[in-house]
């Protein structure tokens, strides 16, 4: 391998390593598109001020395929529909609704429901289908044997940490 080839390989390896190192940082700060949901149309139906809803729409970030090297001992490489990891950030959500004054000595003006931002990870389903041939054997003069194919489904998974806070707020004079 000459010097130019070594330099090219070094550049490719360095760029791949920097991309791999940047991927976890991008997953930790998953992008979210902020949304204020308009609920002003409820004013005609509710006897009070309509609630406000501030949240966001998570933008999923797909990852690379997983499990492409799975194989059994003494068998050929199976056909595989790989699983793909998907990472998204669940946005911060705030719902605020006005309350009527029920107790005059303690006026409460708003009910608040909030959920802080958190990360969510999901893995898509996959499938494995074994090849109906065995490895070549000496007793069959180097020809592969025939067997029933094996099939399997790789299950999906979702992981997220959700936390919600419910409270009452007094009006600020």
Q: Which residue has the higher pLDDT, 1 or 161?
A: 161
Report how far residue 53's alpha carbon sits from residue 6's, in angstroms, rounded to the nearest whole number: 57
pLDDT digits (tens, 9 = 90+) for 26-78: 444 567 788 888 888 888 887 777 888 888 888 888 888 876 665 556 666 77
Domain boundaries, the chain: 1-30, 31-169
Report how far residue 118's alpha carbon sits from residue 50's, in angstroms, rounded to the nearest whole number: 27
pLDDT digits (tens, 9 = 90+) for 75-118: 667 778 888 888 888 888 888 887 776 666 665 677 888 888 88
**For the whole model, what pTM was predicted?**
0.53
The whole-number average pLDDT for the span 144-172 is 83
pLDDT of amino acid 68:
67
pLDDT of amino acid 24:
46
Mapped onto helix, strand or coil, the DSSP state of residue 83 is strand
Please, which residues bridge with residue 54 across strands?
A: 36, 94
Residue 137: CB partners within 8 Å, gap ≥ 6? 143, 144, 145
pLDDT of amino acid 108:
63
Please, which residues bridge with residue 66 across strands?
A: 83
pLDDT of amino acid 23:
44
pLDDT of amino acid 7:
61
Tally of CB atoms within 10 A around 25: 8
pLDDT score of 8 more than 80: no
């Amino acid at each position: 391998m000459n010097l130019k080839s070594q330099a090219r390989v070094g550049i490719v390896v360095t760029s791949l390593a920097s991309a791999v190192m940047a991927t976890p940082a991008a997953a930790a700060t998953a992008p979210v598109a902020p949304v204020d949901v308009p609920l002003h149309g409820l004013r005609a139906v509710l006897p009070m001020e309509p609630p406000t809803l501030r949240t966001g729409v998570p933008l999923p970030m797909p990852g690379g395929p997983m499990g492409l090297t799975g194989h059994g001992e003494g068998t050929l490489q199976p056909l595989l529909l790989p699983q793909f990891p998907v990472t998204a950030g669940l946005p911060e959500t705030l719902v605020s609704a006005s309350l009527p004054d029920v107790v005059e000595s303690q006026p409460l003006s708003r009910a608040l429901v909030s959920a802080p931002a958190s990360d969510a990870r999901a893995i898509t389903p996959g499938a494995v289908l074994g090849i109906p041939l065995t490895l070549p054997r000496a007793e069959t003069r180097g020809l592969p044997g025939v067997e029933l194919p094996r099939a399997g489904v790789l299950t999906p998974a979702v992981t997220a940490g959700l936390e919600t806070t419910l409270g009452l707020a007094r009006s600020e004079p």
